[in-house]
Chains A and B, each alone.
Chain A
Amino acid sequence: MEGMPILSLITFLPVLGMVIILLLPSRNEAGIKYTALGITLLQVILAVMMLSGFNYNLPGVTDESTFQFVEKFRWIEIQEVSWLGTVKVDYFLGVDGISMPMVLLTAIVSLIAVISSWKIPKAIKGFFALFLLLDTGMMGVFVALDLFLFYIFWELMLLPMYFLIGIWGGPRKEYAAIKFFIYTLLGSVFILLVMIGLYFSATETLADGSKVFTFNIIELANQANYNSDGILSPFNPQNWRYIAYIALFVGFAIKIPMFPFHTWLPDAHVEAPTPISVILAGVLLKMGTYGILRIAFPVFPEVTRELMWYIALFGMINIIYGAFVALSQKDFKKLIAYSSVSHMGYVLLGMASLTSTGINGAILQMFNHGTITAMLFLIVGVIYDRAHTRGIDDFGGLATKLPVYTGFVTVAFFAAIGLPGLSGFVSEALVFVGAFSVESIRVVTVISTLGILLGAAYMLWTLQRIFFGKFNEKWEGLTDIDSREMAMFIPLTIIIIFLGVYPSAMIDIMNTSVSALAEFMNSAGNNLLGGM
């Protein structure tokens, strides 16, 4: 285990898989599918290996020496020229308590998504090749610690998603795909601009004492590294830090998706094929909040403190607005999509609190939402595969025909509502406790609790309309779930129940890092406000 470049392996293994798939003939469908399955399974194994070797006491976050499984070497280095300085970009990977849950989540959800893709109707080879490329992008985002590398992985997932939605999707797939692409690219462009601005504002001191411009996220968080005339330097009285922060935040917020930048999500989710919806909701949405936690917060702590009320406000809007719109939906998948928007609002609220409890709750909610919403979309997929409709009112009384299926559905729905005993309760509770403890956002928090009520409302109502009540004779011929679908549901159910009764399993992983982050956010940059 020592010395094995486990992060590079887990990130680039899918690329290897993609190459293998591209070389296999298109007719060999089984080979292609099993290759993808094998690769994602390997990823899960590697993630578990990492977890077993993970040291729970190292904080990471802003301290480079306490990151784990670090791989760092010089990737691009352009030698010193008097008017350019040395340009360097590092290949820098590492995890800490904040990224470890995300790595686990990506591995698990990818495996489930591959199982769910077994019945893809056409162009199997292209589908799985693109899927694995997407997998690399996602994993890379969570482990990259150099802003440039982070950006490359971030952009890497745009094109595969465009094709995956646009080729295998539903009736309005082209519109949904291009909307997704352009919206997300706009956000990425903001991130790029801020990234370059940061590059020119901070220097890193190398081993030989020379100072170079850097993309290293950890160095960028260290305020002592900024030179006094950099465009985004806190020492520069004319600095653009507020605008840059807002731009960076918006760039990430588009992915969360935060109101009012969320309009791409319903279209993308509804039109995407089931496995892609699973990946989208399960992993991609987390990249936005992860980006904020990893980059926006540590690099701009003082600005965050100023704006935290607004972040909480937007969290509240997400929660309430998402829930209200979900309540009015007739399409099952669109309802789940809006419930996704609502649940990500809890993450924002927890993050905005800048407390250890709140951020713990936020990250736990990210993990839980990943598993729960993945399961919800799988549920929609199962019924759509059989009935070819998603209209909620078209169904009725399915519990009598599909008892096993209804069992899983109930678990997932109650987890989404936040029933104690299932994982959703813990994360939402932590978010509320953390947010409530902060004086300035108390009112917003109280209003947000309405979201729980609304969530219960639309979920239970949907449960009632589809599964209980009078059996709709039209669906006499439906079959219950088969073993493949059980293989998708069972792992997720186990995780949901396990984390519901023993949440420490996950919280212990992140606690040290989250505490360090919370402490950093509340203290750093203090002495710089109020002029130099």
Chain B
Amino acid sequence: MIPNLSEIFSLTAPEIVIAVTLILVVLVDLIWDKNKVPAMFTAALGLIVAGVVILNGMPETGMIPNNYMVVSDKLGLYFKFIIVLTTLFILLFTYDSKEIIESHLRQGEYYALVYGMVLGMFFLTSAVDLILIYIALELLSLSSYVLAGFSDKETRNSEAAVKYLIYGAISSAFMLFGISLIYGLTGTTNLYGVNEVLSTTVVNIYTLGFAVILIIAGIGYKISAVPFHFWTPDVYEGSPITITAYLSVASKAAGFALLIRFVSITFIDHVKADGEWILNGAFDWQTILIVLALLTMTVGNLSALWQKNIKRLLAYSSVAHAGYILLGVAVLTNLGLVSVMIYFAVYMMMNLGAFYVVMLVANKTGSEHISQFDGIGYTMPYAGVALTIFLVSLTGLPPTAGFIGKLYLFLALLDSNMLMVAFIALLNTVISLYYYVRILKHMYLKNVAEMPEKIETRGYSTVVLSLLVVPVLFFGIYWTPLIDFAKYCVEFVIK
């Protein structure tokens, strides 16, 4: 069956936009050798166009053409939209980032690589074929390895890149082996096909289990779940801070979209009227996901307590947040899915905001040790207040959007009667307070010898900060539009 060309275009319109822009960015960079601004503008423009295309594609319900490798449904579009927003913010951050500006001749490649990541993530969120998943994952990972080692000046960048590379290569190799085993068991790599085979025939449970564990290793590496998270602190600490921020939000989002699709499409029998997912019994996902989630949360929070480098602290904190989000997936209901999507939207804003302030401080003081934050509350008042709001939101206190994210998570947990799990998650929130407040303590409570001078920050930084702070507060108070949008998108198609 020869596929219909216009159908393909409508399915993959966002990806096509990104691919074209990628080529344009490389060309623009070649043409305007010395001046890097046109490349950045092209990059930003491409993202805006992609965003518009995504929003336009929303109202149609997802069609699954048989045997295609991608679907265009609202779940994928939602995650793509979040990725586009994140990338736009990263571009805004890059303009302010000392590390990237310093390597200014290679800046064009920076944008091209970021686009490579975006392309990989886009495919990852809408792929339904295991091979395409692998290709997209590799595209994403390879671009990120290079970006992690982007700045040439310090040794820690290359160390971060190598660690990331080694872990990533190992995980994706294992994942591929798992995929090959599934291919052998079911004869197809298309997730819908696998679903059919699993529901009709009985396959060897050990091989299937082994294969799925290998695939979980691959996905777990991307979302920084314990015990696949060991790369996270080193890579986050060593990479340039814009890349750290980007990895912590966007590639996690793509990884979670992948996880959701993998679990839901391959293993779901049907969805009940009240939103509960009924699995086809081949594999006990709920226990595994809950155990992973609880481990991830706890290890992330406990490890963060000891950290002195703030990027490392935020790295462990993002591991902990991955744990909370995993819980949202683990409930295996539509409400859980809504909570995951809301949490991501909120997490994007607060995590990016926190990293941005850290970047501003690192620009001024040249170090990321937590003691550099002493007195920042007085020398950079607006940044201090913004960081306070972001930290409060990360803890999950009202009236910030972070509270809403956690609230929906607990609503989903209690709706499925998982009381003990909710309780452990809440205890983790209290633990996380301790290290978030420690940053506040350094910013405001440490006695500085005399009232220090205010450090000038550019108006640009203030604007970007406001773009992040205002939604965090706004959605903490009036969050209906967020929920509506998420609910509207929870309609991925299951056969």
Name A's B-contacting residues (CB within 8 A): 75-79, 81-84, 87, 122-123, 151-152, 155-156, 158-159, 162-163, 166-167, 173-174, 177-178, 181-182, 185-186, 189, 192-193, 196-197, 199-200, 231, 240
Contact = CB atoms under 8 A, between A and B. Distances in A.
B281 interface: no
Interface of B: 273-275, 333-335, 338, 378, 388, 392, 397-399, 403, 407, 410-411, 414-415, 417, 419, 422-423, 426-427, 429-430, 433-434, 437, 440-441, 444-445, 451, 478-480, 483-484, 487
Nearest to B271: A83
Contacts of A185: 397, 429-430, 433
B273 A78 contact: no
Nearest to B276: A83
Contacts of B407: 196
Contact of A231 (B392, B414, B427, B479): B414
A368 B398 CA distance: 31
Nearest to B392: A159
B414 A174 contact: no
A196 B451 CA distance: 45
Contacts, number: 96
A239 B244 CA distance: 46
A289 B466 CA distance: 39
Contact of A151 (B273, B274, B398, B445): B398
Contacts of A123: 378
A380 to B, nearest CB: 23
A193 B422 contact: yes
A87 B440 CA distance: 35
Given A83-B274, A151-B398, A189-B427, A182 B445 contact: no
A81 B410 contact: no
B415 A200 contact: yes
A158 B334 contact: no
A240 B399 contact: no
Contacts of B444: 163, 166-167
B273, B274, B388, B445 — most chain A CB neighbours (10 Å): B445
B61 to A, nearest CB: 16
Nearest to A197: B414
Nearest to A244: B419
Contacts of B440: 162-163
Contacts of A174: 441, 445
B426 A156 contact: no
Contacts of A192: 410, 426
B411 to A, nearest CB: 6
Contacts of A152: 398-399
A496 B365 CA distance: 55
Nearest to A81: B487
Contacts of B415: 200
B426 A193 contact: yes
B397 A77 contact: no
B274, B388, B392, B398 — most chain A CB neighbours (10 Å): B398
A83 B483 CA distance: 14
Contacts of B422: 193, 196
Return the 10 tightest CB-CB contacts between A and B, nearest first.
A83-B275, A152-B398, A189-B426, A166-B445, A155-B398, A83-B274, A196-B414, A78-B483, A83-B334, A186-B430
A89 to B, nearest CB: 10
Contacts of A79: 484
A78 B478 contact: no
**From DSSP, what is the main secondary structure of chain B's interface residues?**
helix
A236 to B, nearest CB: 11
A158 B429 contact: no
Contacts of B338: 84
A482 B368 CA distance: 50
A231 B418 CA distance: 11
Contact of B480 (A78, A167, A173): A78
A181 B441 CA distance: 12
Given A76-B478, A82-B275, A196-B414, 14 more contacts: A76-B480, A82-B273, A159-B397, A166-B441, A181-B433, A189-B429, A189-B430, A192-B426, A193-B414, A196-B407, A197-B414, A199-B411, A200-B414, A200-B415
Given A76-B478, A152-B398, A166-B444, A84 B335 contact: yes
Nearest to B388: A159
24 contacts: A75-B478, A76-B480, A82-B275, A83-B334, A83-B335, A84-B334, A84-B335, A123-B378, A152-B399, A155-B398, A155-B403, A156-B399, A162-B440, A163-B440, A166-B441, A177-B445, A178-B434, A178-B441, A181-B437, A189-B426, A193-B410, A193-B423, A196-B414, A231-B414
B482 to A, nearest CB: 10
Contacts of B275: 82-84
A160 B250 CA distance: 33
Contacts of A156: 398-399
B437 A162 contact: yes
B434 A182 contact: yes
A84 B483 CA distance: 11
B445 A76 contact: no
Nearest to A198: B414
Given A78-B487, A178-B434, A193-B426, A173 B445 contact: yes
B94 to A, nearest CB: 31
B480 A77 contact: yes
A200 B484 CA distance: 20
Nearest to A166: B445
Contacts of A196: 407, 410-411, 414, 422
A182 B433 contact: yes
B335 A158 contact: no
A124 B444 CA distance: 14
A268 to B, nearest CB: 15
A192 B403 CA distance: 11
A127 to B, nearest CB: 12
Contacts of A178: 434, 437, 441
Contacts of A87: 483
Contacts of A200: 411, 414-415
B445 A167 contact: yes
A156 B473 CA distance: 13
Contacts of B333: 83
A78, A152, A163 — most chain B CB neighbours (10 Å): A78
A77, A79, A84, A156 — most chain B CB neighbours (10 Å): A84
Nearest to A168: B445
Contacts of A163: 440, 444-445
A87 B487 CA distance: 12
A83, A152, A199 — most chain B CB neighbours (10 Å): A83
A155 B444 CA distance: 20
B417 A231 contact: yes
Contacts of B414: 193, 196-197, 199-200, 231
A166 B438 CA distance: 12
A84 B337 CA distance: 12
A224 B342 CA distance: 33
Contact of B479 (A76, A82, A122): A76
Nearest to A229: B417
A173 B444 CA distance: 12
A151, A158, A182, A196 — most chain B CB neighbours (10 Å): A196
B185 to A, nearest CB: 33
A82 B411 CA distance: 16
A81 to B, nearest CB: 6
A311 B147 CA distance: 61
A182 B487 contact: no
Contacts of B378: 123
Contacts of A155: 397-399, 403
Nearest to A165: B445
B87 to A, nearest CB: 29
Contacts of A177: 445
A240 B434 CA distance: 30
Contacts of A240: 419
A168 to B, nearest CB: 10
Contacts of A199: 411, 414
Contacts of B478: 75-76
